[in-house]
Amino acid sequence: MSVVGIPILDNLYPVTMDLWPVEAKEFNMVFPFYENLKQGRFTTTKCKDCGHVAFPPRGVICPACYSQNLEYIDLPKTGKVVVLSEEVKGVPLGYESPLIHAVVQFDGPVKRMISKIVNCPVGTLKRGDEVEFVVFDVPPCPIEKGRAGTIMAERVFYAFQPVKK
């Protein structure tokens, strides 16, 4: 993992500058979310008792009724931009410019979320535009695997990108 803009950290793993979650099941209770991402699925947890759909997914309990009876369900993969921000200059260390975020509205159990927008030139995205779910690779992270030693765990994350018209 290298950090954009800091050549001295090339080939090192600066843990405090890691922008992405440790997704391995040994360290993360919502690991099925990341396993599903790797298969291109956009999912979250739904409570089997009261029906509450939480996003981000919950690891153990339903935030509405405290049941532990959760299941993963698929979410819509397209939505509409409600409002957006574009950072071009002075983006935080480790991020590349432009850094675009949007509130995206969905026709599904999760109504709105803030997401990173990728594959989008500055100034082209507008309110009301349709965006689609996309999964991309992020730098792997080292995890201890007992006798197997340290392995580099593959990681992915999600964002949205403009739907080509």
**Residue closer to Zn ion (CB basis): 27 or 66:** 66
d(CA 95, CA 102): 16
**Residue closer to Zn ion (CB basis): 45 or 115:** 45
**Residue closer to Zn ion (CB basis): 98 or 109:** 109
> 7 Cβ partners below 8 Å, 6+ apart?
none
Q: How far is the CB of 95 from Zn ion (least distance, A)?
A: 36
Q: How far is the CB of 50 from Zn ion (least distance, A)?
A: 3
Residue in 63, 46, 61 with CA at minimum distance from that of residue 109: 46
Q: How far is the CB of 62 from Zn ion (least distance, A)?
A: 3
**Residue closer to Zn ion (CB basis): 50 or 151:** 50
Q: How far is the CB of 36 from Zn ion (least distance, A)?
A: 20
Q: How far is the CB of 79 from Zn ion (least distance, A)?
A: 24
Q: Are 77 and 133 in contact (CB under 8 A)?
A: yes
The strand pairing partners of 44, in sequence order, are 73
The strand pairing partners of 112, in sequence order, are 105
* Residue labelled with tokens 């996309």: 134
- Kindly list the residues in this chain that would bind Zn ion in the complex (CB under 5 A): 47, 49-50, 52, 62, 64-65, 67
Q: Are 125 and 81 in contact (CB under 8 A)?
A: yes
**Residue closer to Zn ion (CB basis): 4 or 50:** 50
Amino acid letter for position 30: V
- Asked whether the bond before 98 is cis by omega within 30 degrees of 0, the reply is yes
